[in-house]
Amino acid sequence: EVQLLESGGGLVQPGGSLRLSCAASGFTFSSYAMSWVRQAPGKGLEWVSTISAGGGTTHYADSVKGRFTISRDTSKNTLNLQMSSLRVEDTAVYYCARAQSSVWTLFDSWGQGTLVTVSS
């Protein structure tokens, strides 16, 4: 069974940093592209970032480009999102999502999410 477990969320001040992690199990982590998708309170879904299976290619939403960095550690089956220069509008539940097989851009399994609150 595919399991994705996010951690690292919490309260941070504007301008601060936070590192999210997603522990993956139940599948061959190194074979799948992975993504982060976020959802502001009471709002819709927003794609944040995607990393290829091998880790060599990344994509970012314009809203986070230059501030967030996605990475993966295959030895630990972990996906990471380093967030810096955080803004109030980054407040959201952050979901880790697995790509569907070889299709980077489709999300077939999701974690339960971790809440990031940016506030002074």
Partner 1 sequence: EIVLTQSPATLSLSPGEGATLSCRASQSVGTYLAWYQQKPGQAPRLLIYDASNRATGIPARISGSGSGTDFTLTISSLEPEDFAVYYCQQRTNWPLTFGGGTEVEIK
Closest separation in Å from C-beta 90 to partner 1: 16
CA–CA dist 32, 52 (Å, integer):
7
Q: What are the contacts of 100-106 at 24+ separation with CB within 8 A?
A: 101/32, 104/33, 104/50, 104/52, 105/50
**Are 18 and 10 contacting, i.e. CB atoms less than 8 angstroms apart?**
yes
Q: Which is nearer to partner 1, 74 or 91 (CB)?
A: 91
Q: Which is nearer to partner 1, 21 or 50 (CB)?
A: 50
Q: Which is nearer to partner 1, 74 or 115 (CB)?
A: 115
φ, ψ for residue 89, nearest 5 deg: -75, -5
Closest separation in Å from C-beta 3 to partner 1: 12
Binding site for partner 1 (CB under 8 A): 37, 44-47, 50, 59, 61-62, 95, 100, 103, 105-108, 110-113
Closest separation in Å from C-beta 60 to partner 1: 8
